[in-house]
Structure 1
Amino acid sequence: MELKDILAIKKATDSLGEGELKPYLRFILAEIKLMKEQEGTLEAAVAELIELYDELMGLQEKRAVWSPVPTCTHVHIVVGDSFAGSMKQALKGLGCAETHKLITLRENYAIGPLDGLDSPEGRKARSNWFRNNITEAFEAYTEFEEEYNELLDKLEQIPEQAEVIVWTSGNACEQAGMRHALYLLRNKRNSISVNDACAICEELYNRPDAFINYRYSGEIPSDKLRETITRLDGKGKLCAADIARLEREWQVITEQTGTLRIWRDSAVLEVPAEYYDQYLLEKLDDLKPPVGDNGFLKSARLIGEAIGYCEQYIGDSYFEYRLRELIYDGILEIKGVPAAMHFYSIRRKQQRTGKADFQSALLSMSQPNNSENTSS
């Protein structure tokens, strides 16, 4: 399978909301069970799976109806395919899919260079960094450039009467994305509001004895998101001064030259690329590798642990990139092929006694002790 095929599958599955993904998974597992138990013909099961594949991959074209149209009354701008999938499900559930349209910023703004992102040179530099460091990178610069131009086209299509709702939450990815959206909307005269989906959802549903702290909006199930949307009622509307301030903050972010950002003290802060390296090593030391595997641990398990306990939303691809850097630096050693996190295991670099070291040790043992010779 070629990289472009893997990326197309990832794009198709990332765009699914939780309510859409689970039925597909259940169907696939049921078909596998039938094949395993040899119930029915293999040809029939394969045909069912191929039909499911074609339907899933074809959803990308059907989703085009979510782009702004002249008659829409609201346009929701979200960051990330996962949140976009949940938002689509929520709007469908509210029965307002015809009047509420959606624009998705697909970037992970927490990682990779953002310097000059709104210029062709800056976008090319970002694309090159992803291709060189992230296994799930963009296939080519041309595709990345096409996505950026497609985003500009959708923003231009927003009708004057539509209310624009930009969604964000307490992480660098969505906070930087929100500021980028406002910068790109700088010439529009629409009413614009900014709302924190996670904060609203936590206020609605958290109780002292049962609560969830969401790190990014993609974690919110569509049923809770529906209620969040109904509670907006004009909240979060920005004045011209607010918009201008957030636009300037975006320009400051794009002057940063680093490749990792976190959300702290109400600001998107640049931190060193190795910011989480020690955190990863500590998590590795805490985990117990399987018995009989010479201390090697599946990298996917370590990354899952790191994501689960990290207060920031960074994404698994960056943690996997840093694992490979630790391997290159000789701090970790690898078993397997680092094509993707599921294909290799890691452990702390083991100290080995080479042949030369062994011979040197024997030689030193055979020499008389100088202090003893002096005393005699």
Structure 2
Amino acid sequence: MIHIVFNEPDIKVLQQAIELDESLQGEVIQIKDDYAVGPLNNIYLGEGIDQRRQWWREVLTGGDGDSKVDSGEVDDYKTAAELVGTMRRDENEIIWIWVAQNKHDVSGYYWLLNYMKEFQGRVFILYLNNLPFINEKGNIFYPNWISEIPAKEFLKAKKLAREITLSEFEVDPDEWTKICDENGGVRLLEGGKKLKSEDYDFYDAELKKQVTGDWQKASKIIHHFLSKAKHTTGDMYLLWRLKTMIANEMFDVQGKIANMKDFEVKAPSR
């Protein structure tokens, strides 16, 4: 059994669950890119792959994510190729794809599906769509992320495993193709597995609300956004958007515009 997750914190909690339940025994593999943001046009062709890599280079260079630029740390195409090779060599191998109710997981699921169709009948999805769980305090909650589920609750979660149907292998790629062709900068989850596209500046208005007339470190502005906004995204994306607005002279800034703790921002005094 191979488990597929889309967030690094999911790995640890799933490994803890495996220790509690031998029936879950298997390798845990992460799809690392965030397909809920960035260009998607020709995402499976060399031109589209290079375009996306160049976009991430632009987002990460000169900031907290600088060390990840061209590090080779994120190579989902290599991961997918290795998965396909493993499945072809061992006809008894199966894959469980763990998807929580968030745009990041759903976008990752759609991206991965392109490589899974030849293994229909051996690929399962566990979609935690509006399923209640019990947290560490004994209260009922609805997780937005796999990592929020206590390890012992995976005994309940595993019951969700079901084959991805032939119909889904036909319909879901059409939905993803539509999203890729729209090529918006941001994807949002409307419900179920339905995504909608927005422009790259989708988060700007809400991010701008966190900038006041007082000097604040960029890290504080981003933290406030993440704690208050209805729709959130990764901090590296938000840092890039904040820098974009600064470049457009929307705010006053002091310090070196690099890592989010290196510079301060406030509303323009003029």
2:94 equivalent to 1:167: no
CA contact (8 A) 2:126 2:160 kept: no
Cα distance in 2, alignment partners of residues 181 and 123 from structure 1: 14
Structure 2 unaligned regions, length at least 5 = none
1:304 aligned partner? 223
Aligned to 2:28: 102
CA distance in 1, matches of 2:36, 2:76: 18
Provide TM-score, normalisation by structure 1: 0.63
Partner of 1:247: 173
Q: Per-residue displacement from partner, 1:288-331 (whole Å, max 9, x unpaired)?
A: x8xxxxx2011111111111223334111111111111111111
Aligned match of 1:196 in 127, 147, 150? 127
Pairs within 5 Å for 1:119-198: 119-134=45-60, 135=63, 136=65, 138-140=68-70, 143=72, 147-158=76-87, 159-197=90-128
The counterpart of 1:87, out of the listed 10, 14, 21, is 14
Which runs of structure 2 are paired with 1:1-376 in the superposition (5 Å)? 74-95=1-22, 99-134=25-60, 135=63, 136=65, 138-140=68-70, 143=72, 147-158=76-87, 159-197=90-128, 199-200=130-131, 203-205=132-134, 210=139, 212-218=141-147, 220=148, 224-233=150-159, 235-266=161-192, 267-285=194-212, 295-351=214-270
Shift of 1:251: 2.1
Range with greater deviation from structure 2 (114-123 or 129-138): 129-138
Q: Which residue of 2 aligns with 1:56?
A: none
Q: How far apart, in 1, do the equivalents of 2:74 and 2:248 lie?
A: 33
RCO higher in 1 or 2 (8 Å CA, sep ≥ 6)?
2
* Distance change >3 Å, CA 239–CA 252, structure 1 → 2: same
Q: Is the 8 A contact 2:97 2:126 kept in 1?
A: yes
Task: Name the structure with the higher helix share.
Answer: 1
CA RMSD between the two structures: 2.7
In the alignment, structure 1 segments of 5+ residues that lack a partner are: 1-73, 290-294, 352-376
> Which one has the largest radius of gyration?
1
8 A contact 2:126–2:157 mirrored in 1: no
Percent identity of the aligned residues? 16
CA distance in 2 between partners of 1:321 and 1:215 (Å): 25
TM-score by length of 2: 0.85
